[in-house]
Structure 1
Amino acid sequence: MTDNAVRVLVPTGMLGGGFPPETVTRGLQLGADVIAVDGGSTDSGPYYLGAGVAKTARAAVARDMRLLLRAAASAGIPLIIGSCGTSGTDSGVDWVAAITREILADEGLTLRVATIYSSQKASDLAALPIRPLPPAGPLDPAVLDGCENIVGMMGHEPIVAALRSGADVVLAGRATDTALAAAYPLMRGMPAGPTWHAAKIVECGGQCTTNPRAGGVLATIDAGGFTIEPLDPAAACTPSSVAAHMLYETVNPFTMREPAGTIEVGDAVYTALDDRRVRVTGSRFDPAGQHTIKLEGARLTGYQTMSFTAIRDPHILGRIDTWAALLRTMITEWVSNTLRLGPDDYSFDIRLYGHDAILEKLDPSAAPPREVGVMLLVQAPDQETATAVAKVANPLMLHLPTPDMDHLPSLAFATSPAETERGPAYEFVLNHVVEVDSPVGLFRIHLEESR
């Protein structure tokens, strides 16, 4: 920290997403005091939490971590990674920690690593005050017991505790994206308003710039506000690109709740310092009366098998909704007659890619599509049943005509075999917060011994 300011380097929006190495070098040259990067997300659905596995490739995470560990060691600054292993489960933290230890040994680096675990036991949570967030209702204890994995979303406090304990590298479980960038400046006494607002703007790296693919950003936080600068000299931050990030993943573009309080940016002013940097002032942070930790949980809902066929026949495409309705009816009848299964024994979904798979009836089109990909997604309590249903549907997805056709068309499966077993499927079932007396009480911090 220099000049009564703290400089936070965020190299990318997600660990394993990659970044140009020279942008991190530039961040160090600009005086970065800490490197912070998110390691996870719920964007890709509940599978990664339910299964406790990462969506990123190990090689991609190792590539990014090697560059960041070298940078942190050379500059003598902390490295903070949050939501390790995508969902922030204990297994995700251990996965990133194992990669980190391998790199440290390979590079001959002596950095102290702290791991912060955020997985929660249903039995421990059952005795705590838990309240729903809209639109969820009161929590049924059976929902907690049915979760494969539950994590608590930490704020900055456990990260600060790890840093104060002497950690050079902090590998945290599930955390708010903003907490990762806010922790070190708050520890160094920077004001909460500018710190939290800056953390929100830089959470996705270069997404607040005119070229999100070019690399990350550097946030300089001081007593009066903060300044955002892209790490690629060819990229730029503008008042619009910076302010726009408050629209990202927020219910209200002027406020955002953290475990400890609420970011308030309704009075913020965004000023271009030059053609690349933006200065922001007027941000506030209102402390909450009650500290809360958001819970995320995923439970197993069954097993899935998928088939995918393609239609180019103009006659069918001109009647695609009629054809799809017939397909649904025929699958139900054939499964009932051959497998003796009823509607409570399985479910299936048909999605017409190229027609209405994304918005369905919200965006109707009068013109027939040129081609359509038909995805059949079957779910059942076990994999064998899901695959059996998909196999029964196979002839229909290959040769089903419209009611007015006097011949069997030939459609095109995308793969052979046509059925792809997707394995276990999960769903998010918690949209609740637990009220806590201590912001670190639900989390377990382990600091490795010095080498």
Structure 2
Amino acid sequence: MDNTAVASVRVLAPAGMLGAGFPDLTIERGLELGADVISVDGGSTDSGPHYLGSSQPKTTRAAVARDLRVLLKAAARADIPLIVGSCGTSGTDNGVDWVAGIVADLLAEEGLDLRVARIYSEQDAGRLKERLAAGHIRPLPPMGELRPETLDDCTHIVGMMGHEPIVAALEAGAQVVLAGRATDTAVAAAYPLMKGMPAGPTWHASKIVECGGQCTSNPREGGVLATIDAGGFTIEPLHPEVSCTPISVAAHMLYETVNPFRMREPDGTLDVAEATYTALDDRRVRVEGSRFHVAEQHTVKLEGARITGYQTMSFSAVRDPHILAHIEDWAALLREVLTERVEQTLGLGADSYAFDVRLYGHNAVLGENDPAQGPPREVGVMLLVNAPDQATATAVAKIANPLMLHLPTRDMDHLPSLAFATSPAETERGPAYEFVLHHAVDSITPTDMFRIEIEESAHHG
């Protein structure tokens, strides 16, 4: 990889997540505008701990393959790198290998010969316990101090890499980089930083483009191109009928940040308190004044998930106006009667299992903060049961079955008929996971926690 200093770097961000899709014409437009690198995020923790805990992707193979086929052909034609971060949703080793397998098949089908790098980010619990004992792991709010046994409980642990391992892969000659868990920004920042672009504008631009077209007037119409130079950066939508405005660009610093002016990366903190946002025309925005403060200690965030039990779900619908007028009292009665019958039937106390009743259409989303007044028109009642094993969870849900079908309010003199959404009413969801690691570990070097493997050729034709 040629690291000759350049005056600017153009980063093509096609979408907020690999597999989300984008119009083909936006990729062609990005190449016409002189893109130097294509970067796309492949994952997130947004959808909960299941994907990390189970090491399974959220996206379907067909959707990922569709996007990758377009991007690989574009990268090969333009002779520019393609970088994918947090492969397989959670960035586990299996996720990296899953995406790499798709890439290998596509390269063979398209007759492309590109060097592919895999960067693995899964962590060994034993090594982390050594770092913990040495005082090099600290909790991030709102977590408490980490216990060694928590590391052993995790089914998978990943470290969130910064740009450095990606740069190392590019410098080793990789044309396609498939990274495990990485900060969303590192995926876009790696190539510009390697080419000598200043850290402030680079990290800020990378934050703005992390979700593709979310900083535009129509996020559904594809991504953006960020042009980074010594004085700042410019954001331009890839779709000709879409615009960026100073407000739409600046507003993205409100997204997934604790502080809209400061954002921590493994090697320091982005500071946009003095950044200015200027409309160059009706589509493009220029940003200047971004700064980056290098940290004394490079750190890597740890993410880990463990099994909390096994879950069974049941869902019924309430249309009875009398029950709806007293829906919270009815739900309280459901909880009370179910608890009694589980103890009578299964001999289980409340400490042996757990269940949750959620009233969709009433307050399932906002709970007590819901501002709605008056009885709802209809309510979906979702029961989630969690138990140490699947059979117990399903047994509890089956005990709830007649209650969710015919439970009257305390003052009703007849049995109402409610409606189950499915037959059978109970759906076994398998193991349930929870995030238990939200901690930072001091790095020995920016790359020492990550393993890089580069294939000489992925072309099998």
Same-fold status (TM-score > 0.5)? yes
Provide the residue aligned with 1:220 in structure 2. 227
Q: Distance in 2 between matches of 1:312 and 1:283?
A: 55
Identity %: 74
Provide the residue aligned with 1:390 in structure 2. 397
- Alignment pair present for 1:178 and 2:185: yes
Task: Spell out, residue by residue over 1:17-56, the C-alpha distance to the aligned partner (whole angstroms, 9 max, x if none).
Answer: 0000110000000000000000000000000000000000
Provide the residue aligned with 1:355 in structure 2. 362
Q: Report deviation, 1:361.
A: 0.5
Q: Which amino acid aligns with 1:72?
A: A
- Alignment pair present for 1:319 and 2:326: yes
Q: Which amino acid aligns with 2:435?
A: F
- Alignment pair present for 1:271 and 2:278: yes
CA contact (8 A) 2:13 2:224 kept: yes
Q: Aligned to 2:372, what secondary structure does the other structure show?
A: coil
CA contact (8 A) 2:6 2:195 kept: no
Q: Report deviation, 1:2.
A: 9.9
Q: Distance in 2 between matches of 1:269 and 1:107?
A: 44
Q: Distance in 2 between matches of 1:197 and 1:81?
A: 19
Provide the residue aligned with 1:341 in structure 2. 348
Provide the residue aligned with 1:29 in structure 2. 32
- Alignment pair present for 1:288 and 2:291: no
For structure 1, the 5+ residue unaligned runs are none
Alignment of 1:369-380 (within 5 A): 369-380=376-387
Q: Distance in 2 between matches of 1:106 and 1:366?
A: 58
Q: Aligned to 1:430, what secondary structure does the other structure show?
A: strand
- Alignment pair present for 1:109 and 2:131: no
Q: Which amino acid aligns with 2:335?
A: R
CA contact (8 A) 1:356 1:364 kept: no
CA contact (8 A) 2:85 2:179 kept: yes
Q: Report deviation, 1:136.
A: 1.3
Q: Distance in 2 between matches of 1:2 and 1:36?
A: 20
Q: Report deviation, 1:135.
A: 1.7
For structure 2, the 5+ residue unaligned runs are none
- Alignment pair present for 1:47 and 2:50: yes
TM-aligned CA distance change 1:136 to 1:2, over 3 Å: closer
CA contact (8 A) 2:6 2:196 kept: no
TM-score computed with the length of structure 1 as normaliser: 0.99
- 1:332 corresponds to which of 330, 336, 339: 339
Say what the alpha-carbon RMSD is for the aligned residues. Answer: 0.9
Q: Which amino acid aligns with 2:214?
A: Q
Q: Distance in 2 between matches of 1:3 and 1:98?
A: 34
- 2:41 corresponds to which of 38, 41, 58: 38
Q: Distance in 2 between matches of 1:30 and 1:319?
A: 61
Q: Which amino acid aligns with 2:401?
A: N
Q: Report deviation, 1:364.
A: 4.3
Q: Which amino acid aligns with 1:177?
A: D
- 1:12 corresponds to which of 10, 15, 23: 15
- 2:139 corresponds to which of 132, 137, 144: 132
CA contact (8 A) 1:90 1:119 kept: yes
- 2:304 corresponds to which of 285, 288, 297: 297
Task: Spell out, residue by residue over 1:238-266, the C-alpha distance to the aligned partner (whole angstroms, 9 max, x if none).
Answer: 00000000000000000000000000000
Q: Report deviation, 1:3.
A: 6.9
Q: Distance in 1 between matches of 2:164 and 2:33?
A: 27
Q: Report deviation, 1:437.
A: 2.1
Q: Aligned to 2:402, what secondary structure does the other structure show?
A: helix
Task: Spell out, residue by residue over 1:176-216, the C-alpha distance to the aligned partner (whole angstroms, 9 max, x if none).
Answer: 00000000000000000000000000000000000000100
CA contact (8 A) 1:269 1:281 kept: yes
TM-score computed with the length of structure 2 as normaliser: 0.97
Provide the residue aligned with 1:203 in structure 2. 210
Q: Aligned to 1:127, what secondary structure does the other structure show?
A: helix
Provide the residue aligned with 1:239 in structure 2. 246
TM-aligned CA distance change 1:2 to 1:207, over 3 Å: farther
Provide the residue aligned with 1:366 in structure 2. 373
CA contact (8 A) 2:8 2:197 kept: yes
Task: Spell out, residue by residue over 1:374-419, the C-alpha distance to the aligned partner (whole angstroms, 9 max, x if none).
Answer: 0000000100000000000000000000001000000000000000
Provide the residue aligned with 2:82 in structure 1. 79
Provide the residue aligned with 2:427 in structure 1. 420
Q: Distance in 2 between matches of 1:136 and 1:42?
A: 16
Task: Spell out, residue by residue over 1:113-147, the C-alpha distance to the aligned partner (whole angstroms, 9 max, x if none).
Answer: 00000000100111111011122111100000100
Provide the residue aligned with 1:188 in structure 2. 195
Q: Report deviation, 1:431.
A: 1.2
Task: Spell out, residue by residue over 1:334-371, the C-alpha distance to the aligned partner (whole angstroms, 9 max, x if none).
Answer: 11101111112110000000000011101243311000
Q: Distance in 2 between matches of 1:195 and 1:215?
A: 21
Provide the residue aligned with 1:61 in structure 2. 64
Q: Which amino acid aligns with 1:204?
A: C
Task: Spell out, residue by residue over 1:279-305, the C-alpha distance to the aligned partner (whole angstroms, 9 max, x if none).
Answer: 000000000010000000000001000
Number of residue pairs matched by the alignment: 451
CA contact (8 A) 2:5 2:195 kept: no
CA contact (8 A) 1:114 1:447 kept: yes
Q: Distance in 1 between matches of 2:112 and 2:5?
A: 25
Provide the residue aligned with 1:430 in structure 2. 437
Q: Distance in 2 between matches of 1:336 and 1:138?
A: 36
- Alignment pair present for 1:141 and 2:148: yes
Q: Distance in 1 between matches of 2:188 and 2:56?
A: 24
Q: After the TM superposition, which parts of structure 1 deviate over 4 Å for at least 4 consecutive aligned residues?
A: none
